[in-house]
């Protein structure tokens, strides 16, 4: 089954739909989400994307990310993908949104209106190995230092979501959560 994504304008208003790889090949702006799950010690759960992913394979990223399907809410899609990729569920709360565009060496383009959601979980994930080849809990200060020292080990959107521009919103989400 070909997966479809929701095309949006720069204000996240739906303007159509497209097949997922077609949207990424053409750099079409589409709706996406990034999930940041923290434990009670405020460590972030990172995943290492499977090397076989269509882009950014083998890189460390946030807990889970994906795209709502046409007719699916962002919250429902986020819950679905968290279960599919990491094999657990938790309450997810909207934290902030941002728009970005990144071009990859393989010719694909991430042009996304990204909804960031946060959650809390103190268990042990059991990720789908076809999606995730590793995981770890990390303190945010340590992660920011590692991303500065080895930026090529991390996904573009993770670095952007944790950038100086968005950092106050991440801290706010942690206080609320």
Q: What is the predicted pLDDT for the residue at 53? A: 81
pTM: 0.93
Work out the mean pLDDT of the chain and round it to a whole number: 92
3-state secondary structure 80-139: HHHHHHHCCCCCEEEEEEEEEEEECCCCCEEEEEEEEEEEECCCCCCCCCCCEEEEEEEE
Cα(54)–Cα(41) distance, integer angstroms: 33
Catalytic residues: 65, 112
Question: For residue range 51-96, what is the model confidence (pLDDT) as tens digits?
Answer: 888 777 799 999 999 999 999 999 999 999 999 999 999 999 999 9
* Cβ partners under 8 Å of residue 62, min gap 6: 34, 35, 36, 44, 46, 47, 155, 157, 158, 161
CA 130 to chain centre: 17
Dihedral of CA 144/63/58/33: which sign?
negative
CATH number of 4-176: 3.90.79.10
Tokens of 20: 């997922």
The domain segmentation of the chain, as residue ranges, is: 4-176
Q: Which residues pair with 18 in a beta bridge?
A: 5
Residue 15, pLDDT > 90, answer yes
Q: Is residue 101 over pLDDT 60?
A: yes
- Which pLDDT score is estimated for 57? 76
List pLDDT tens digits, range 115-130: 999 999 999 999 999 9
């Amino acid at each position: 089954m070909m997966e479809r994504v929701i095309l949006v304008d720069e204000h996240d208003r739906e303007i159509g739909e497209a097949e997922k790889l077609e949207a990424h090949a053409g750099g079409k702006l589409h709706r996406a989400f990034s999930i940041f799950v923290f434990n009670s010690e405020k460590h972030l759960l990172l995943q290492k994307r499977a090397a076989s992913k269509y882009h950014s394979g083998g890189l460390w990223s946030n807990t889970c990310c994906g795209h709502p399907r046409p007719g699916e809410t962002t919250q429902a899609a986020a819950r679905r993908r968290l279960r599919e990729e990491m094999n657990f569920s938790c309450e997810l709360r909207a934290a902030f949104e941002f728009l970005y565009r990144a071009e990859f060496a393989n010719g694909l383009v991430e042009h996304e209106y990204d909804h960031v959601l946060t959650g809390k979980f103190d268990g042990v994930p059991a990720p789908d190995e076809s999606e995730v080849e590793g995981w770890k809990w990390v303190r945010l200060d340590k992660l920011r230092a590692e991303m500065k020292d080895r930026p090529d080990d991390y996904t573009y959107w993770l670095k952007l979501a944790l950038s100086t521009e968005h950092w106050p919103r991440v801290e706010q989400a942690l206080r609320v959560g």
